[in-house]
Amino acid sequence: MDRSVKLVIDCNVFVSACLDSRTCGVVLEVALLQNQVYFSRFILEELHSTLARPKFCHPMVQEKSRNAIELLKLKGYLIEPFVCPFPTPDPKDEMYVATALTAQADAIITGNLKHFPPLLCHPIRIFSPRQFLTETYPHITV
C-alpha cells in the first residue's frame, strides 16, 4: 500500500476481534498500525459499554478488549466530530458517520453494511472487514 488510509472502525469490528474473529483481528492490527484511525469520545464510550456487558466477561475477551482499546488510544486520533448532517438507518451509527465526515476519512469498516448506505455516506467508502482486507491488502489472507 502506497499511502495511509483514513479510517473509522465500527464497534462491532472491535467486538468480533475480541471474540476471536481472525479477520477482524487482522483488520484492527492493519488499520491501527498502518493507517490513520479516527475515533471520538462517543465511539470510545460505546466500546467500553459494549465490551463491559456480562456476555463479554470472559477473562480472555476482557484482556483482548483492554488491549484493543489501548491500541486505539495509542495509535488512533481522537477528534470531536460535527453533528451528522443526515439520519442513518440506525441512529446509534450517526456518530461513526459524523466522525468519518469530520476526519475526512476515506472509509468506515463495519459488520453492519446495511446501517451505512453507500449513497447516503458518499464520499466515504463503506467496507466489511473482509472487503477492506481484500481491496486494500490483497496479499493478506485470513
DSSP tag of 124? S
| Structural domain contains residue 59 | yes
pLDDT at 29 over 70: yes
The mean predicted confidence, pLDDT, of the chain is 93
CA neighbor of 37 nearest in space, from 94, 99, 118, 91? 99
Tens of pLDDT, residue by residue over 66-110, are 999 999 999 999 999 999 889 999 999 999 999 999 999 999 999
User: Which residue segment(s) compose the domain that 30 sits in?
Assistant: 6-136
pLDDT at 1 over 80: no
CATH number at residue 71: 3.40.50.1010
3-state secondary structure of 96: helix
| Structural domain contains residue 1 | no
C-alpha cell at 40: 471520538
| Structural domain contains residue 92 | yes
Query: Of how many residues is the chain composed?
Result: 142
pLDDT at 27 over 80: yes
Q: Give the residue-averaged pLDDT of 51-76.
A: 93
| Structural domain contains residue 141 | no
Within the chain, strands assigned E span 6-9, 36-39, 77-78, 107-109, 125-127
Q: Residue 3 has what pLDDT?
A: 67
- Counting the structural domains of the chain, the total is 1
Phi/psi zone of residue 20: left (φ > 0), alpha (ψ -120 to 50 degrees), beta? Answer: left
pLDDT at 113 over 90: yes
